[in-house]
Structure 1
Amino acid sequence: MRLTHVVALTLALSLAGCGGSDQPSKLWEASGFQTPESALPDTDAAVIYVSNMAGKPNEKDGNGYISKLSLDGKVITDKWVTGLDAPKGMALVDGKLFVADIDKLVEIDVATSAITTKHEAAGAKILNDVAAGIDGDIYVSDWSGNAIWRLADGKFEKWLESDQLKNPNGLLVESDKLVVAAWGAMEPDFSTKTPGNLLSVNLEDKTISNLGDGKPVGNLDGLEPLEADTYIVTDWVAGKVFEIAKSGKAKELLSLSQGSADLGYIPASRTAIIPLMVDGKVVAYKF
């Protein structure tokens, strides 16, 4: 066999063994977390914030906390901020970390690691994800309350409530709309007869519409932009990671374990950081 044939065969076998060059590759895995729900990278500070519910999603037990990791998955501070109940989604704005915590939006000063404000959301059921607009407004999904709350000009209030939100989970502010990763209309046990899909909420008039064809995808959780016209989205129940186009078409990228939650994404390195709630782990994959 000629040398060129040997090289070609070796390359083919190598690609087959790794699942092809377009397959996500696992970079690292960190363990020891307590029901980790959200991972938020801060590349300027070279850290990742991880929210730990350390209990049930609606239990006010004071056991919740935030961990701080390096970008390569090493734990810097296990319990960086403590005294929370069941912290979930996070957003970082001007040195302030905003954390959804059942019926409060907790504001943490990153420089001092101190909780500076707790914005009460009277009547909220389970606040989940947090997203910031370019104008500084903060949007928070009320997962089981079928609502979106907003912090604007220091006032935190219910901004939108509708069954059309299909139990909103992940949020992303994009230009003149709020993109919503919907879980799907929930039964009392959190199951769904029809899984959720991506939605679009007009920020001006609050109209709700399907993003694309509206075809059900899964019990959607984390949501981040991937390409110019696609998003990277997790399915908590199935443990899958999808690429979902603005047309609504979904492509499976990864199959992980149940509990794949609110992921963070670093565009420059094409790295997704995914909390695995049930396993108590955080994993990173390069796309």
Structure 2
Amino acid sequence: MSGNESAGRARAPRPVLNVFAGLVMLLACAETASAETPVLAWEAKGLAQPESVLHDPVTDVLFVTNINGPVMAKDGNGFISRIKPDGTILERNWAKGFNSPTGMGLHDRTLYVADVDTLVAVGAASGSIKKKYKADGAIFLNDVVVADDGTVYVSDTPMNTIWRLKDGVFEPWLTDDTLNGPNGLLLEDGKLINASLGRLKSVGQKQEIAGLFAIDVEDKSITPLGKPIGNLDGIDELKAGTYLVSDWADGALYKVDVKGKTAKADQLLDLNQGSADLIFLADKQLVLIPMMLDNTLAAYKLGGAKPN
């Protein structure tokens, strides 16, 4: 046997080892992808165009707005449901007297609800309407967020405006076309993080996608957080600098990381159209998404494992 033959035989197993190593890497990647993919935990069905969900930490109950009719119609059909974090519907028609209720915010046992052109203050315990704040000139008040001091911010999507309720006065706080259809709102470290809707495809109107913006609460400066992603609706913080965002038109859940120089958006779920104003319950690792056109509130467990 020559030296060359010996060397050739010694090298023969290497392709097999390379294939094995490649399979190991593929399996590892698949496991990582599986761990990232949220798994359906439960669905609360039988709602009526649910648009937004909010957690009450005092009672550990979910509030869900139901449009129950044409969006923006002043028909008096809208209502709010109370649902347990396991999906059990406690009271489907808990609070009534709304038209087309959408986003909500909670402060000092008062629930603030966006309702077309009015911000409605509701008793968090009773469900009774305490006060209404008319937004003269508003077209579609959409999402609501409340600061620690009780200041309420509300997005008016078609008007590219953020309204503010402070010291009993409800008025436009910021109007800027850069916002491109402000929708979901989140307060974080002196910034108002906004997920924009852009423009939905309709008769005579082309689809225009949008992205995230950070609005400085002090000077109102606007900073884009990466490139346009989709027709965005809900937003909540997954961790510092990382958000969970829903796309209403395409039906998607994204994880958006803005910590680096360039924002990165990864699609976690491919959903039906109508994925609306979500929240993330960190202690339960649950993403709660109102599926507006499916009349369902869906809960997804992060981490790829079904909850007990």
Residue equivalent to 1:7: none
Residue equivalent to 2:267: 252
183 and 192 in structure 1: CA distance in 2 versus 1, 3 angstrom threshold: farther
The alpha carbon displacement at 1:248 in A equals: 2.1
Q: CA RMSD in A?
A: 2.1
Residue equivalent to 1:283: 298
Match of 1:131 among 145, 154, 166: 145
For structure 2, list consecutive stretches of 5 or more residues without a partner in the other structure: 1-25, 303-308
SS in 2 for 1:164: helix
> Does structure 1 retain, via aligned residues, the 8 Å contact 2:201–2:208?
no
43 and 25 in structure 1: CA distance in 2 versus 1, 3 angstrom threshold: farther
> Does structure 2 retain, via aligned residues, the 8 Å contact 1:57–1:126?
no
In the TM superposition, 1:150-229 aligns within 5 A as 150-185=164-199, 192-211=206-225, 213=226, 215-229=227-241
Aligned-partner Cα distance in 2 for 1:43–1:226 = 18
Percent same amino acid among aligned pairs?
43
Please tell me whether Structure 1 or Structure 2 has the larger radius of gyration of its CA atoms.
Answer: 2
Question: Which one-letter code corresponds to 2:242 in the other structure?
Answer: T
Aligned-partner Cα distance in 1 for 2:154–2:206 = 22
In the TM superposition, 1:85-100 aligns within 5 A as 85-100=99-114
Question: Which one-letter code corresponds to 2:111 in the other structure?
Answer: L
Aligned-partner Cα distance in 1 for 2:37–2:205 = 30
**TM-score w.r.t. structure 1 length?**
0.90
Match of 2:119 among 81, 105, 115: 105
The alpha carbon displacement at 1:20 in A equals: 2.3
Instruction: Tell which deviates more after alignment, 109-118 or 62-71.
Output: 109-118
The alpha carbon displacement at 1:99 in A equals: 0.4
29 and 188 in structure 1: CA distance in 2 versus 1, 3 angstrom threshold: closer
For structure 1, list consecutive stretches of 5 or more residues without a partner in the other structure: 1-11
186 and 279 in structure 1: CA distance in 2 versus 1, 3 angstrom threshold: closer
Aligned-partner Cα distance in 1 for 2:34–2:200 = 37
In the TM superposition, 1:24-35 aligns within 5 A as 24-35=38-49
The alpha carbon displacement at 1:200 in A equals: 1.0
Residue equivalent to 1:243: 255
Structure with more helix by fraction: 2
Asked if residue 71 in structure 1 is aligned to residue 88 in structure 2, the reply is: no
Residue equivalent to 2:282: 267
CA-to-aligned-CA distance 1:157-178 (integer Å, 9 cap, x gap):
0111111110000001111111
The alpha carbon displacement at 1:250 in A equals: 0.3
